[in-house]
Structures are given as C-alpha cells and as structure tokens.
C-alpha cells in the first residue's frame, strides 16, 4: 500500500504535524491563544476605525504561525468576513450604515481595482508606495483641518452619488496598486469628499468589505492558499472585540477619532514603506546572486 509523501513544515500549504507543536516550535495551545489575541486586537481596530485589520493580522500570522505572506494575507481576508459582519451589525444598530452608499462604493471599487491592476503593470515599482504615502499625508493634514460632524448624514443627490463612486474608484485603484485595505481610503473619503459623519463613514466602510472579503476568500479557498482554521480563530476573536471598538468610536469625540485615525494611517504608511524596503532588498539580493554566476574572468570562463 502506498503512503503519501511527507510534507515539510516550512511549506505554507502543508498541514500541521500530528504532534503537540506547530511548525514554529510553539505548543498548539500557545499558538492558538496568540492567534486569538491577534483577532481581539484586529477586531478592536476594525470597530474603532472601520477598517479590516489586515495591518495587524498579516504580520502576526507570519510571526505566530510561520505563514508565508501570501497565505497570511489570504487567511486575514477570511477572518475579515466575520470581523466586518459583526462590526457592520454594531454600527447598524446605531443607524450608522448606509446600504445605498455601500452599493455605489462597491461599484466604484470594482472598476478601480481593474484600473489599479492595469496601472500596476505600467508604473515603475519604486513609484507605487509613494502614491499611497502622498494620499495618506493629504488625508492626515485634511482631517486635522476639517473635523467631521458626527451628526452629518447622507443626503443622496447626483453630486454626492458621483462622489461615492469616486471614493470607491480611488479605493479600488490604490488597493490594486499597493494592496492597501479599502477602509484606509473609504473612511476619510466619505468624511472629506462626501461629507458624512465619522461613525456613518466607518459603518459603511465595514459593509463594503463584506462582499469583497467573501469573494476573495472563496477564490483563495479554491486554490488552497487559506488556513480556514486560523482564519476562524482570528475571526472569532475579532468578532468579540469589534463591538468594543464600535462603542469606543461612539464614546470619543470626532476630533479625537480623527487624530487616532491619522495615527493609524501613519502606521499603515510605515508598513507600506517597510514592504518597499524589503522589496528592494530582494531585488538587490537577486542581482547579486545573478552576478555571482557571471564568470570572473572572461578569458577562462571560470565562475567564482
């Protein structure tokens, strides 16, 4: 009888060994608790800012579970389904979610993602992160100069309808170009361009994430790049903490919320620049490796 070939723990697609320790060397209980804590932190930030929490989830899964970045990102997206659903429900109970706005945002973001993917193949890689950095700096400055009015609702007219599609378009483009989450763009876009209140912007942003996360997770699951067990643990932790983030957002003033969101954007910018630095290091390493294979003396053809 034939036996399946063993898989290496370092393989991101491999199953965990049957022992009591995971591939990182930690006990499974310890690892599961760390993953749960990751979900709690991500859920609180999601409820507080109206974002997905991938900024916390992805690096944590890479560190705690030893996942590749691709697998961690796919698992994070699976967790965001539950996180965004609970966060949306929390804001909806306060009347701070607009279904019409979410539909227009989704339409714009779908088109924007195609444009972003098209631009990705044509713009120099070194330019891409600086596009988001410029956008983030503009948002940070604008939010300190123009604090949103909490009670401002959505009065839908042709101008605001176009504004909603434009915000979704911008979110999709930046997502396709540099991989930033839509909430980092949608929340300030709704506040600054459409003029809605801070809580309505956050609740609507979370609603927009649900269909995107579901479609992405379905695709990732088909290709076997998502760890559904880890995603469920993160999602449960996030679902517990998201309402607490929502309550905190409602308890603090719009000015304080804008300041905290600006600090969050600074963290996103630093993370984006860190990824760019890592990309450049990989490029240099690839060039150096290629040069190592070039003959040191063209006359004898010897390689170092």
pLDDT tens for 15-47 read 444 334 455 566 778 888 999 999 999 999 999
Contact yes or no for 33/27 (Cβ under 8 A): no
3-state secondary structure of 108: helix
Q: What is the pLDDT of residues 142-188, one digit of tens each?
A: 878 877 788 888 888 899 999 999 999 998 888 877 767 788 889 98
Q: What is the mean pLDDT of the chain?
A: 83
Evaluate if residue 10 carries a pLDDT over 60. no
pLDDT value for 6: 44
Alpha-carbon gap, residue 185 to 49, rounded angstroms: 11
Instruction: Determine contact, residues 77/181, Cβ cutoff 8 Å.
Output: no
Beta bridge partners of 27: 21
- Residue 266 in this model has a pLDDT that exceeds 80: yes
Lowest mean pLDDT among 39-48, 82-91, 116-125: 116-125
Query: Which comes out higher in pLDDT, residue 276 or 89?
Result: 89
Question: Taking the chain, what is the end-to-end CA distance rounded to the nearest angstrom?
Answer: 47
Position of tokens 């993370």?
271
At 216-231, the pLDDT tens digits run 889 888 888 899 999 9
- Residue 64 vs residue 178, higher pLDDT: 64
Supply the pLDDT for residue 25.
Answer: 60
Report the 10 Å Cβ neighbour count for 284: 10
CA distances from 167 to 35, 68, 100, 190 (A): 33, 31, 14, 7
Whole-model pTM? 0.78
Both tokens assigned to 3: 């036996």
| Residue 265 Cα distances to 53, 221, 271, angstroms | 12, 30, 10
Alpha-carbon dihedral 236, 238, 242, 245, rounded to 10 degrees? 150
**What pLDDT score was predicted for residue 233?**
94
Give the best-scoring range by mean pLDDT among 83-92, 120-129, 263-272.
Answer: 83-92
Q: Which of 21-35, 62-76, 111-125 has the lowest mean pLDDT?
A: 21-35
């Amino acid at each position: 009888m034939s036996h399946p070939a063993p898989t290496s723990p370092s393989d991101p697609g491999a199953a965990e060994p049957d022992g009591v320790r995971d591939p990182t060397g930690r006990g499974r209980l310890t690892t599961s608790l760390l993953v749960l804590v990751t979900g709690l932190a991500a859920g609180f930030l999601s409820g507080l800012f109206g974002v997905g929490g991938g900024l916390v989830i992805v690096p944590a899964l890479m560190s705690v579970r030893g996942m590749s970045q691709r697998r961690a990102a796919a698992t994070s997206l699976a967790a965001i389904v539950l996180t965004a659903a609970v966060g949306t429900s929390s804001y909806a109970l306060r009347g701070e979610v607009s279904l019409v706005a979410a539909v227009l945002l989704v339409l714009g973001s779908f088109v924007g993602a195609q444009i972003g993917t098209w631009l990705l193949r044509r713009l120099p890689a070194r330019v891409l992160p600086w596009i988001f950095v410029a956008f983030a700096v503009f948002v940070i400055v604008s939010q300190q100069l123009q604090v949103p009015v909490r009670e401002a609702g959505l009065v839908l007219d042709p101008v605001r309808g176009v504004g909603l599609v434009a915000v979704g378009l911008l979110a999709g483009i930046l997502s396709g170009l540099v991989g930033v989450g839509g909430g980092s763009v949608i929340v300030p876009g709704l506040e600054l361009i459409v003029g809605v209140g801070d809580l309505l912007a956050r609740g609507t942003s979370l609603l927009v994430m649900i269909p995107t996360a579901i479609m992405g997770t379905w695709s990732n699951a088909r290709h076997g790049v998502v760890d559904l067990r880890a995603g469920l643990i993160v999602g449960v932790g996030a679902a517990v903490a998201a309402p607490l983030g929502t309550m905190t957002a409602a308890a603090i003033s719009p000015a304080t919320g804008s300041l905290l969101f600006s600090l969050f954007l600074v963290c996103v910018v630093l993370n984006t620049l860190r990824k760019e630095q890592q990309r450049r290091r990989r490029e240099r390493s690839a060039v150096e490796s290629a040069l190592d294979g070039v003959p040191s003396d063209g006359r004898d053809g010897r390689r170092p």
